[in-house]
């Protein structure tokens, strides 16, 4: 049986309390209800905190933040001076988290996500849903500078948010990002992450017990890690920069849509499988290097006890042998943790 004895609310409440303390003296407005619309500037900072339920974030071409919910939520508005003071450090703190599983305790250490290029002068909106409403939909301006959303338990979806910074965290549940761009931090402690059709300048994604899937994405600087889960970057491209994918106990799969790049693959307890078109591949079944075109961005893929899979394009385009079935499972069902599968073919 999986036991979780570290309540999300302690860390989440600390984050909210810190932000509320910094913003409190300059609070401009507070409302409570099931349908709230607040006028904002062209590039606000929006913070959403939910205990449980479903959070859907969308964008529109209006200088308003709109919140709709089946149950009452609290919405606070702050002026730009208060927001500037709250974000003066330039970093978003990511608290350490520990969960207990059948495999033992899993620890995600504390990190900081640096905010770059968002500047100042943003007014702020904080949305708080403490009574676990079923669904909250938050519609924000297209020019929102920072979206910062955290949930204890449930599903978090972000659609069509482009060009700003985003921090999304769920302790137990699913995160889905569709058609996003910019710089972001994505964490599902116990649950899957799926990011699709997105162009990312800088992204950090991690889970303790969950799979991570990227589909049809482009990334310039990307760092992805999971302890128990598997990782797939399917039909993706890389802009010049650094890319790192690492799972301690799961599989790592990289599907290259095109372009020149260098891949370094390593596994301690599994095998490396390769189906790359027109690539120069060297190495062994546990350490391999692949050169596509004239080289370029450096991509590293590693696993402690799982396998590493390298292939061209999208996985669904291929008729892969049985040994590749774990890749298909994570792409079709990213919420399911992959188990070790018997393999017959490798480098």
131 or 226, higher pLDDT = 226
Token representation of residue 241: 């920069």
Structure confidence by residue, pLDDT tens digits, 145-181: 999 999 999 999 999 999 999 999 999 999 999 999 9
Residues 134 and 154: beta-carbon distance below 8 Å? no
Q: What is the model's pLDDT at position 218?
A: 97
Structure confidence by residue, pLDDT tens digits, 302-334: 999 999 999 999 999 988 999 999 999 999 877
2 or 113, higher pLDDT = 113
Token representation of residue 55: 């959070």
Mean pLDDT score across all residues of the chain: 88
Q: Which of 22-31, 191-200, 276-285 has the lowest mean pLDDT?
A: 22-31
- Rounded to whole angstroms, the Cα distance separating 5 from 67 reads 32
3-state secondary structure (DSSP) of residue 22: helix
3-state secondary structure (DSSP) of residue 16: helix
- Rounded to whole angstroms, the Cα distance separating 218 from 260 reads 13
CA-wise closest residue to 130 among 13, 237, 216:
13
* Burial class, 205, CB count within 10 angstroms (exposed 0-12 / middle 13-18 / buried 19+): buried
Q: What is the model's pLDDT at position 86?
A: 87
Q: Which residues contact 232 (CB under 8 A, 6 or more apart)?
A: 211, 212, 213, 214, 252, 253, 254, 255, 315, 327, 330, 331, 334
3-state secondary structure (DSSP) of residue 42: coil
For tokens 């050169």, name the residue: 291
Handedness of CA 310, 311, 315, 319 (dihedral sign): negative
Token representation of residue 16: 């909210």
- Rounded to whole angstroms, the Cα distance separating 111 from 307 reads 27
Domain segments of the chain as ranges: 1-209, 238-347
Q: What is the model's pLDDT at position 336?
A: 54
Question: Taking residues 13-41, what's their average pLDDT?
Answer: 65
Structure confidence by residue, pLDDT tens digits, 174-221: 999 999 999 999 999 999 999 999 999 999 999 999 999 999 999 999
Which DSSP helix (H) or strand (E) runs through 85?
helix 80-86
């Amino acid at each position: 049986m999986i036991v979780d004895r570290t309540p999300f609310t302690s860390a989440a409440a600390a984050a909210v309390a810190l932000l509320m303390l910094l913003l409190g003296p300059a609070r401009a407005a507070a409302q409570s209800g099931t349908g709230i619309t607040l006028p904002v500037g062209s590039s606000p900072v929006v913070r959403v905190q939910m205990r449980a339920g479903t959070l859907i974030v969308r964008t529109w071409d209006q200088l308003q933040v709109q919140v709709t919910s089946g149950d009452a939520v609290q919405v606070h508005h702050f002026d730009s001076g208060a927001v500037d003071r709250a974000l003066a450090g330039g970093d978003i703190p990511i608290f350490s988290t520990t969960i207990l599983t059948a495999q033992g305790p899993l620890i995600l250490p504390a990190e900081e996500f640096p905010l770059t290029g968002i500047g100042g002068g943003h007014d702020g909106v904080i949305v708080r849903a403490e009574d676990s409403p079923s669904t909250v939909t938050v519609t924000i301006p297209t020019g929102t500078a920072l979206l910062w959303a955290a949930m204890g338990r449930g599903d978090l979806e972000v659609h069509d948010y482009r060009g700003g910074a985003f921090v999304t965290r769920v302790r137990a549940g699913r995160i889905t990002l569709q058609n996003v761009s910019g710089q972001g931090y994505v964490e599902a402690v116990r649950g899957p992450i799926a990011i699709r059709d997105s162009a990312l300048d800088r992204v950090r994604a991690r889970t303790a017990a969950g799979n991570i899937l990227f589909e049809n994405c482009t990334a310039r600087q990307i760092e992805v890690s999971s302890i128990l889960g598997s990782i797939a970057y399917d039909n993706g491209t890389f802009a010049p920069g650094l890319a790192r994918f690492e799972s301690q106990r799961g599989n790592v799969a990289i599907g290259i849509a095109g372009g020149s790049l260098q891949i370094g693959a390593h596994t301690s307890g599994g095998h490396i499988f390769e189906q790359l078109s027109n690539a120069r591949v060297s190495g062994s079944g546990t350490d391999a290097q692949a050169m596509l075109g004239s080289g370029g961005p450096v991509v590293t893929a590693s696993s402690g006890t799982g396998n590493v899979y390298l292939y061209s394009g999208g996985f669904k385009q291929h008729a892969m042998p049985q040994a590749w079935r774990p890749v298909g499972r994570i792409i079709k069902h990213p919420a399911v943790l992959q188990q070790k599968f018997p393999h017959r073919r490798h480098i």
